[in-house]
Amino acid sequence: MALNDVLQKIRDEEKRVGRAVGATRLVAVSKVQPLGRVVAVLDDGHRLFGENKVQEAAGKWPDLREKYNDVVLHLIGPLQTNKARQAMELFDVIETIDRPKLARTIARLAEETGHCPRLFVQVNTGEEEQKAGVMPEDVDAFLAECRDLGLRIEGLMCIPPVDEEPSLHFALLAKIAKRNGIEELSMGMSGDFERAVAQGATYVRVGSAIFGDRVYD
């Protein structure tokens, strides 16, 4: 099935570029997909999933987790501060920390509850007005701010502009991570995950290549 094709392509690319096999993990992006397709991928043994909306994930994953209790869930879409508490309960990794107000809210809730998911910072590598993420020139300062708040940022994520060569953006993200001592890199989607593997991705986020096209109604 498509899941195994994607996994195989990741492994092949890791070998081709001389990375350790298994260094890149596959986040299966299940947003908008019919439940049956998600269950099929779960029944194939896959356990790592991504969702881009808190509300949608809340309507789906608590039930699925009763049966598949070792699921790991990443939030890959923008997070409003008023949903931070719910997101911290639901997700194992929040990939989209992108502004001081959100960082402060998460730090406060982590202190209050004694629980915090793993955190990544989203970088707007294409410096696009309409897109979320910290501008490349502001990332170092933002990471310092997170550190001062007591937040441990383990990774960076980006979504390159649709009309540009993604490899350039992946390389930029890798460079920013390296100079800040950050290990995890979430980059690459259905159209470009092999190029992301070549640039050092530790997570690729793949939806339609696994599940088929999303049908919005």
Secondary structure element (H or E) that encloses residue 77, with its range: none
Closest to ligand PLP by CB, 28 vs 103, is 28
Looking at residues 132 to 171 of the shown chain, list those that interact with ligand PLP (rule: CB under 6 A).
159
Extract long-range pairs of 176-184: CB within 8 Å, 24+ residues apart.
176/123, 176/136, 176/139, 176/140, 179/140, 180/139, 180/140, 180/143, 182/143, 182/153, 182/154, 182/155, 182/156, 183/154, 183/155, 184/120, 184/154, 184/155, 184/156
Q: How many CA atoms lie within 13 A of 203 on its CB side?
A: 27
- Grouping H, G, I as helix, E, B as strand and the rest as coil, residue 12 is helix
Q: x/- site string to ligand PLP, residues 4 to 43, per CB under 6 A?
A: -------------------------x-x------------
Query: Using the rule CB under 6 A, which residue among 3, 10, 134, 189 binds ligand PLP?
Result: 189
Query: Using the rule CB under 6 A, which residue among 77, 133, 160, 166 binds ligand PLP?
Result: 77
Closest to ligand PLP by CB, 77 vs 126, is 77
Looking at residues 102 to 121 of the shown chain, list those that interact with ligand PLP (rule: CB under 6 A).
none
| Contact stretch for ligand PLP (CB under 6 A) within 4-12, 60-68, 100-108, 200-208 | 200-208
Interaction of residue 206 with ligand PLP, rule CB under 6 A: yes
For residues 46 and 160, what is the distance between their CA atoms, to the nearest angstrom? Answer: 26
Per CB under 6 A, residues contacting ligand PLP are 29, 31, 52, 76-77, 159, 189-190, 205-209
